[in-house]
A = this chain, B = another copy of it.
Amino acid sequence: MNLKIAVLSGDGIGPEVILQAKKALYAISVAYDHEFIFEDALIGATAIDKTRNPLPEQTLNLCLNTDAVLFGAIGNPKYDNNPDAKVRPEQGLLKLRKELGLYANIRPIKPFKNLLDASPIKREVIENVDFVIYRELTGGSYYGEKIVNEEGTFASDICEYSENEINRITHQAFKAAQSRRKKVTLVDKANVLETSRLWRKIVKKIALQYPDVMLECQYIDNVAMQIITDPKQFDIILTENLFGDILSDEACAIMGSIGLMASASIGNNNALFEPIHGSYPRAKGKNIANPIASILSAAMLLEHFGLEKEAKKVYEAVEKAIEYKVVTIDLNPGSRFGTNDVGDFISNVI
């Protein structure tokens, strides 16, 4: 297979970890006779520094005309400490998601057998946990109108959802459930929010088209607790943008490290793959960042294009690295292996 992949390494540890994902993809291309062509582009704080734009025209055009996007991380503390900054790195990512129509963000939670003890949660609670979060990614309060008055004494954010926005991700979630344990948990706050009640109504209607899948509706506050106390109950979690953001980061506690969590963002014509972790500026350039989340994101890319065998190969190579403790310090405090070593080991195994 021939794939053109845009590489948006971004800020902080982004470039270091994405390099390892590229190595893994290169190893796959050699082993399975594919051709992957990588093209780099600017995004985030790095792009602001060079072009004053967190998502330069050129980057957007490249992404629109490519098969897939491999994304690192964005964010730089110099913008966090300046609430008045009119241009922020995150705007680049948010605009990219919107422009590419990446409405479904998919985040699998399945702890590695050899890392069950790395989690703060007890082994018996997380053993055999296996669920996937389907987070709506181009709506909600991320994109609704924002207001702040001139005196800076009042602000507002609107959370909006339309039937169409809820429909498309809901169908994705139910289809995914059909090839899994056939359960969808809709997470909302329907006892308070109007948008949640709309979600509930529409999702219940769609559920009738999937009689083999069980639908359950739960409140976000309750699920925030249940993900820790009884995570085995979940198969597919379906939720809106901000709730999905919160729950998927929380679920990292099950995996043992945020450095292990991959994600795919899928639209009708485009797809983007990125680790869940942020740009982790303090670790930048230190060769200590965990590249596994990026490498697993590359595996999700392969899977997205039907390259199941290849994706499995990457996943197994990651498992081997974990088994042989070729991991970064987040997983093994005394580890002598750096970002590069882990990436090299994994691509060599492939």
Q: Which residues in A have some Cβ–Cβ distance to B below 8 Å?
A: 75, 80, 83, 88, 90, 94, 120-122, 125, 141-142, 144, 146-148, 152-164, 189-195, 197-198, 200-201, 217, 220-222, 224-225, 227-230, 242, 245-250, 252-253, 258
14 extra interchain contacts, Cβ-Cβ under 8 A, other than A157-B158, A250-B250? A80-B191, A83-B201, A120-B121, A121-B228, A153-B164, A154-B160, A156-B161, A157-B159, A159-B159, A221-B248, A222-B249, A224-B249, A224-B250, A228-B253
CB-contact partner of A190 in B83, B156, B189, B217, under 8 A: B83
* Residues A155 and B225 in contact in the complex (CB < 8 Å), given A120-B122, A121-B122, A122-B121: no
Expressed in whole angstroms, the minimum distance between the Cβ of A200 and any Cβ of chain B is: 5
**A141/B159 in contact, CB under 8 A:** yes
Tell me the bound Cα distance from A315 to B148 in angstroms: 45
Expressed in whole angstroms, the minimum distance between the Cβ of A2 and any Cβ of chain B is: 36
* Residues A192 and B142 in contact in the complex (CB < 8 Å), given A120-B121, A162-B154: yes
Expressed in whole angstroms, the minimum distance between the Cβ of A93 and any Cβ of chain B is: 10
Expressed in whole angstroms, the minimum distance between the Cβ of A17 and any Cβ of chain B is: 18
Expressed in whole angstroms, the minimum distance between the Cβ of A195 and any Cβ of chain B is: 5
**A156/B154 in contact, CB under 8 A:** no
* Residues of chain B with a CB closer than 8 A to A144's CB: 156
CB-contact partner of A194 in B90, B146, B198, B245, under 8 A: B146
* Residues of chain B with a CB closer than 8 A to A229's CB: 120, 252-253
CB-contact partner of A200 in B83, B161, B242, under 8 A: B83
**A158/B158 in contact, CB under 8 A:** yes
* Residues A193 and B225 in contact in the complex (CB < 8 Å), given A120-B122, A125-B120, A152-B201: no
Tell me the bound Cα distance from A266 to B154 in angstroms: 23
* Residues A163 and B156 in contact in the complex (CB < 8 Å), given A88-B191, A147-B194: no
Tell me the bound Cα distance from A252 to B217 in angstroms: 20
Expressed in whole angstroms, the minimum distance between the Cβ of A161 and any Cβ of chain B is: 6
Q: Which 9 A-B pairs have the closest CB atoms?
A: A221-B249, A155-B198, A224-B250, A146-B194, A228-B253, A153-B163, A83-B197, A156-B160, A155-B194
* Residues A224 and B200 in contact in the complex (CB < 8 Å), given A160-B155, A192-B94: no
CB-contact partner of A252 in B146, B162, B164, B225, under 8 A: B225
CB-contact partner of A156 in B192, B195, B201, under 8 A: B195
